[in-house]
Amino acid sequence: MPDCTAFYSQPAGFTAPGNHAGALAGLPAGLAALTEVAHGLIMHEHLAGLYGFELAAERRASVHVRPVSRLLDQIVAEDARPLGVAREPSARVPGNCRHFTVLTVAALRARGIPARARCGFGGYFSTGWHDDHWVCEYWNAAAGRWALADAQIDDVQRKAFGVGLDVLDVPRDEFLVAGDAWLRCRAGLADPGTFGLSPMGEAGYWWIAANLLRDVAALNNMEMLPWDIWGDMLRPGEEPDEAQAAFFDQLAALTADPGAGFAELTARYRADPRLTVPATVFNAVLKRVDEV
């Protein structure tokens, strides 16, 4: 087992459960069971229609919650039953792929299972696109390797998106961590114009670079919101200059195999203000500065 697994075995930062540690530890064992728990607690804010209802605007505030402890606070405030009891779809707390991911990471870490959130792009939502997405990367002890699990996809979404892959062991050519996406595009093996968010028609190197910074932060236990802006992120539509491209090349190489360069990855994150999440970030959805 790589040395870095100890770092990812302990709740930390946004995955620390706070007062809910006992509740997480008491959930059913096994990755499949834990993702089912997440399905019963969280509703993706943009997919409510698949479950037969429209999500009211006033309920969407929870999508801006970063810490798992606060997410769980809201879940139990709305329904005090045990976390393992699935809520009706319309009663689930709104979130997105990042929320499914960090909750699953927190539940795995509560059992001492190494897990981390990865930011990148899923190729199984829209033909010809690699859509902005988050998944859980966990240490598969039986296989002796890190594996990817999409904690968001349930049977309803599997049918709607035509997902035929194993969501508990997603192939790495179906979900590309941001660094892999960057390196493939730089090598001419993929088109940066297909990496972004298909419903908005936005894509490009600027989107990949932003997710690369978010992935670096997540690998350092700072799992930010998909629309948090800080540091050296490129502006929408901006092409990287030579110096910026070289900077992101280095980051992509480090994140491709976080265990191999773990010491450098964590040291650079702490020392480089272009990477380190500051005390405040810009929330691009709410158009405001948020305290982290």
Mean pLDDT of 111-134: 96
Encoding tokens for residue 228? 């948090």
**Which tens digits make up the pLDDT trace of 50-97?**
999 999 999 999 999 999 999 999 999 999 999 999 999 999 999 999
- Number of C-beta neighbours around residue 281 at 10 A: 20
Q: What is the dihedral of CA 77, 83, 89, 94, to 10 degrees?
A: 60
Burial of 60 (0-12, 13-18, 19+ CB in 10 A): middle
Q: Please give the residue range of the domain that contains residue 241.
A: 3-291
Q: What is the mean pLDDT of residues 11-40?
A: 95
| CA of residue 14 relative to chain centroid, distance | 12
Tokens 């699935």 correspond to 86
What is the pLDDT at residue 232?
A: 82
pLDDT mean over 178-184: 98
At CB < 8 A and 24+ separation, what contacts does 192-201 make?
A: 194/128, 194/129, 194/130, 195/121, 195/129, 195/130, 196/129, 196/130, 196/131, 196/132, 197/131, 197/132, 198/125, 198/126, 198/129, 198/131, 199/46
Q: How many domains is the chain partitioned into structurally? A: 1
Given a cut of 60, is residue 126 above it in pLDDT? yes
Dig out the tokens for 263 from the structure: 């010491």
| pTM assigned to the model | 0.96
pLDDT tens, position by position, 257-280: 998 889 999 999 999 999 999 999
Residue 180 confidence (pLDDT): 98
Tell me what pLDDT residue 151 has: 98
Q: What is the pLDDT of residues 204-262, one digit of tens each?
A: 999 999 999 999 999 999 999 999 999 889 999 999 999 999 999 999 999 989 988 89
- How much is the pLDDT for 198? 92
The dihedrals phi and psi of 40, each to the nearest 5 degrees, come to -85, -5
**What's the distance, CA 291 to chain centroid?**
20
H-state helical runs in the chain: 21-25, 31-41, 68-78, 97-109, 155-161, 178-186, 205-219, 242-256, 262-271
Between CA 233 and CA 5 the distance in angstroms is 28
Residue 14 in contact with residue 66, Cβ under 8 Å?
yes
Q: Is the pLDDT of residue 190 over 50?
A: yes
pLDDT tens for 166-179 read 999 999 999 999 99
Q: What whole-number percentage of the chain has pLDDT above 90?
A: 94
pLDDT(1) > 50: no
- The neighbouring-strand residues paired with 203 are 196
Q: Identify the pLDDT of residue 3.
A: 72
- For residue 2, the model assigns a pLDDT of 56
